[in-house]
Structure 1
Amino acid sequence: MAEVLTLQPTPGVLPTARGDHLSVTSSTQALVWPDVWPPADVIVFAPATFNSVNSWALGLTHHFVVGVAAEGIGKGIPIVAMPCVNAAYVQHHQFEESVAKLRAMGVTVLYGDGGFVPNRPGTGKPADYPWHRALDAAAALAGA
């Protein structure tokens, strides 16, 4: 339940900078919005960038897709994540910590052997991204 404050112009109460007066009323209401997305059997977050992996693990949901993935953890939806980062990025200690945090939260992170293996900077080939690994893992989690 959230407390909703309503401000209404009312003569004689709480003067404003313009000289108007406001009355303040308070009530407790349930703020509920229906979920517009159909329920997911599994979420695939791929290719997940260095920024997205770190933001997600830290709970920073300033991008919609990261918010969906973060909420998926809370909803208990199985999640497969497969990064797409170069070998220079993964030298930053936060990346390994983020992968470990996501795995500890139940996310299947396909990184390293059996998943995405980082390339040297500038040598990536988008056509070689191993989509089949992410899709196979998602099918297995969804029970297909």
Structure 2
Amino acid sequence: MCRLGELARLTGHPVRSEYKMPGEPDVWPKADVIAVAPATFNTVNSWALGLTHDFVVGVVAEGIGKGIPIVAMPCVNSAYVQHRQFERSVAELRAMGVQLLYGEGGFVPNQPGQGKPKEFPWGLVLDAAEGATRT
């Protein structure tokens, strides 16, 4: 697991996990692309519904409005995807221009309790993000 200090050192920018106060300077440069992975059931649904109750969902919801290319890959089990809202949320995010890597060619849900975190297809997310910066 990456430590926050090391992440700040690698990027050259402070790590933020909370909203800044109005009037405070933005310490991040303009993003070329945003990658959201692994996106949980809650993140996907909150984001699609515009419920920005946490920092990450707020950043990506605003990113859509700013026209920043966004690549997302959920990591959910097959029980969660049976909830009707999940497929609606996937469709809504795709309609808003989010490149959602889910299903064939992306993340395929596993059975509950059968997760394989070490096998999460990070390469697909990184390749899609790199491709999004070229368009």
Tell me, yes or no, whether TM beats 0.5: yes
Given the alignment of the two structures, is residue 77 of structure 1 paired with residue 68 of structure 2, yes or no? yes
Aligned mate of 2:85, from 71, 75, 94: 94
The residue that corresponds to 1:20 in the other structure is none
- Report 1:56-135 matches (<5 A): 56-135=47-126
- Unaligned stretches of 5+ in structure 1? 1-30
Two-structure CA RMSD over aligned residues (Å): 1.3
| Equivalenced residues, count | 114
* Stretches of 4+ aligned residues off by more than 6 angstroms: none
Residue 32 of structure 1 deviates from its aligned partner by 5.2
Three-state SS of the structure 2 residue aligned to 1:119 is: coil
Give per-residue Cα distances to partners, 1:16-60, cap 9 Å, x unaligned.
xxxxxxxxxxxxxxx755432111000000000000000000000
Residue 114 of structure 1 deviates from its aligned partner by 0.6
Q: Percent identity?
A: 74
TM-score, with structure 1 as normaliser: 0.76
TM-score, with structure 2 as normaliser: 0.81
Q: Residues of 2 paired with 1:117 and 1:83: CA distance?
A: 9
Three-state SS of the structure 1 residue aligned to 2:38 is: strand
**Bigger RCO (CA 8 Å, 6+ sep):** 2
Give per-residue Cα distances to partners, 1:107-140, cap 9 Å, x unaligned.
0000000100000000111000000000000000
Higher helix share: 2
